[in-house]
Structure 1
Amino acid sequence: MLHTLAVLVENYPGVLIRVAGLFARRGYNIDSLTVCQTEDPEVSRMTIVVNGDNQIIEQVRNQLSKLVIVHSVTDLTGESVVDRELALIRVEVSAETRSVVLQTVEVFRGRVVDMGRSNITIELTGDIAKIDAFVYAIRPYGLLELVRTGKIAILRSEV
């Protein structure tokens, strides 16, 4: 099962390698990792997606919490969250396929950010399922390049 962990850490060089090293030493693969400075310039937030059962995730959380550089670890799995991913996708187009590709972009609420004679680059944001569905739909036209940010997530506001 995929788990999404929100980890608040000190914001200085070397922190990322220490956290990633913890996963590598224990043989856990990171499916997605995003890092950015928070509203506090001394703190960064890592959003880590890792595959494992509850026991493995609890072990990972405990190991992360032992690091001095880690302020907090929150498992967002099963919580009410807003999550997004950004993708840039370069697709091959011809005179015959350009309009169909552009209609597909519109259906998925994407945005064309670069256009050439034989290809276009699309920006798409959404949850992982939306981006996966778009990639599946566009692949027959000639997927040339795909770059994804990885998942980011934040708890929903209380009503």
Structure 2
Amino acid sequence: MSDVRWLSADEQRVWRSFMTAVTRFTEHLDRQLQRDSGMPMAYYEILVALSESEGRALRMSELADLCHSSRSRLSHAVAKLEKQGWVARRACPSDRRGSIAELTDAGFAALAEAAPGHVGAVRSHLFDVLTPEQLGSLDRIGQAISGGLSSECAQVRAEREAEGDC
């Protein structure tokens, strides 16, 4: 284990501060959505992704990528959203094994009702507490971290495509 680059005390502090902020922020947003709209943040993210796509529909594999979710977790969530009447699934015309998730009018209405409270929580607990300079830094930091993980993300997408997920 001599090749492990252990974190310094300062790096430990930064790491823990970052993880605490991300975890608390995410938990706060999830609680706000549950309380005000009766949906977890994961469902909100699915509805947003569908609402922003052409025809309010996406292949399940694309939706999983956009929501940073495994296919099985996404499939379970979409099944719950179908029971709510917020999403409908249909067969993929190019591959009978796959399916497409489509946002229903009821799902769009649920999203429209949930969005103001969610945006308000994001604004008050992120944008309103940071200076414009800090926001610029946060943007660059997020892009750097995401960029450093992009090869792993590309590999996961390639594996999903090789499995024939529509």
Higher relative contact order (CA 8 A, sep 6+): 1
Q: TM-score, normalised by structure 2?
A: 0.25
Q: Of Structure 1 and Structure 2, which has the larger fraction of its residues in strand?
A: 1
| Greater helix share, structure number | 2
